[in-house]
Amino acid sequence: MAAPHDGPWLDESAGRLVRPYTVSDGRTRPTAQMDLLTQVMATGGPVVGYQGPDHTAALGLCAAPTSVAEIAAQLKLPAVVTKVLLSDLVDCGALTLRAPDFYHNPTDRSLLEAVLDGLRRQL
């Protein structure tokens, strides 16, 4: 049985009843440029036009700056579908995007050691 706030979109035993490509109306490319580390935040402005329940859920997660990756995880949607939803909200002025304050070199030894230390602490 679906949770009361999920409506017909989720079913406890079957999972998501609507395929991800349906959520994005079949679109696979966002109109706004973003990556998984991009910070997204609600502007507080009105949402113009019809937005589905996934748009509303995404907007609700953006009260504070939140990464695209975190939003995708919370919505349980693929990253590309999440980017399409978020770009819809950016296009109507409900969200703003900000690149992360810094990017690390993915091969930086100190970064890799910090990740390894964190993983070891989790075990």
Strand order through the sheet with 39-42? 66-67, 39-42, 95-98
3-state secondary structure of 118: helix
Structure tokens at 123: 């075990």
Which residue, 39, 33, 71, is CA-closest to 55?
71
Write out the DSSP string of 51-69. Answer: --HHHHHHHHTTSS-EEHH
For 78-123, what is each residue's pLDDT tens digit?
A: 888 899 999 999 998 999 999 876 666 667 788 788 888 888 988 7
Q: Give yes or no for a contact between 20 and 81, defined as CB atoms under 8 angstroms apart.
A: yes
For 3-59, what is each residue's pLDDT tens digit?
A: 444 445 554 554 544 555 556 566 668 888 998 889 999 998 888 777 888 888 999
